A = this chain, B = another copy of it.
């Protein structure tokens, strides 16, 4: 499975740690930047990750900014992305099980690296439950057209 990672400056350190860890676990990792701690704008990196998921260049994404909030909003502007901002693994698993989330958002200034890894592990290790949840996930894809 190919996993794309993107962050702003506030998420850079956690992104680097997660990228190395995921590579060690045998995942193919695409690091979309940013590349250092110089200040950048999270919407650019959220959009970059969203496009990577939407075009099928990666199956899953991890998005990181200071709180995880801004970049989660950016990713969810793309109708093909379902991004869950989480800070513990129960939510990360529910995001997969109920929402078929394809992107996880984390707060690099709020969540420690071990907790972040537990979130990512739950996100990657949990299957979508389907059933009534599929109908709702389909509705999420059509909402964007309705709002135009």
From B77, B132, B148, A140 is in contact (CB under 8 Å) with: B77
Pick out which of these stretches binds chain B: A12-20, A22-30, A36-44. A36-44
Contact with B along A62-87 (1 / 0, CB 8 A): 00001101101110111100111111
From B54, B69, B90, B110, A101 is in contact (CB under 8 Å) with: B69
- Is the CB–CB distance between B99 and A73 below 8 Å? yes
From B70, B90, B146, A47 is in contact (CB under 8 Å) with: B146
A144 in contact with B70 given A91-B107, A135-B41, A139-B41 (CB within 8 Å): no
A47 in contact with B143 given A67-B98, A136-B41, A136-B42 (CB within 8 Å): yes
- Is the CB–CB distance between B72 and A85 below 8 Å? yes
